[in-house]
A and B are shown apart, each in its own frame.
Chain A
Amino acid sequence: QIQLQQSGPGLVKPSQTLSLTCAISGDSVSSTSAAWSWIRQSPSRGLEWLGRTYYRSKWYNDYAVSVESRITVNPDTSKNQFSLQLNSVTPEDTAVYYCARDPGQCLSCFDLWGRGTLVTVSS
């Protein structure tokens, strides 16, 4: 069964780093067709794509303009997972964070989502 399992803390202090991990079952982070994204959802900002990693003979990353100065999305091939690091967080980064798969067989769609992690930024 293909699934994405998210893990990471639900509370982060302002100015610190938000770190989440998404473990992949039934597919490979090194897939040459899929791309692996982080997306967040909040009442104030709606749904927002943050960034992705994917492998096409080498590793690539793309990031949203709104967070590109403080985001890193990394693959971990030894554990078949990928991670999100968001630095210098503020209360505006409070949101439900999802990992998701773009399978590559459809243009810019997500066919598999993690369950979501509510991350609250507060002291």
Chain B
Amino acid sequence: QSALTQPASVSGSPGQSITISCTGTSSDVGGYNSVSWYQQHPGTAPKLMIYEVSNRPSGVSNRFSGSKSGNTASLTISGLQAEDEADYFCISHRNDRRPYAFGTGTKVTVL
């Protein structure tokens, strides 16, 4: 099954805002309000940053926000900080028996 498409890399200067896209189909991203976003620093486990398109877990900075339009979901990081430099990936619900569709991942660089 196909992965969700993300840009390989996105960069920005400290204080700027960046947006990462996650494009799927009507069978996954477009069909459910289920997209979640994860941050992964090298050598560590992923951390949940956004769930169900736009909800932030307790403890996650409000500089992280999510949205969705059609088959594309987006993660926006505002007020970019050096600590935001990491890999980010998305996950969407796909179906009941094989429920998880993963994004290809995006490397965020803080210039």
Contact = CB atoms under 8 A, between A and B. Distances in A.
Given A107-B34, A108-B92, A110-B91, A49 B102 contact: yes
A49 B52 contact: no
B36 A65 contact: no
Interface residues of A, number: 20
Contacts of A64: 98
Interface residues of B, number: 29
A107 B33 CA distance: 8
A46 interface: yes
A113 B46 contact: yes
Nearest to B100: A49
Nearest to B48: A111
Contacts of A109: 34, 36, 48, 51-52, 91
Nearest to A4: B45
A113 B48 CA distance: 9
B55 interface: yes
Contact of A62 (B33, B52, B91, B99): B99
B57 interface: yes
A36 interface: no
B99 to A, nearest CB: 5
Interface in A68-123: 98, 106-111, 113-116
22 contacts: A46-B105, A47-B105, A49-B98, A62-B97, A106-B34, A106-B51, A106-B52, A106-B55, A107-B33, A107-B34, A107-B93, A108-B91, A108-B93, A109-B34, A109-B36, A109-B48, A110-B36, A111-B48, A111-B57, A113-B46, A113-B47, A116-B45
Interface of B: 1, 3, 32-34, 36, 38, 44-48, 51-52, 55, 57, 89, 91-94, 97-100, 102-105
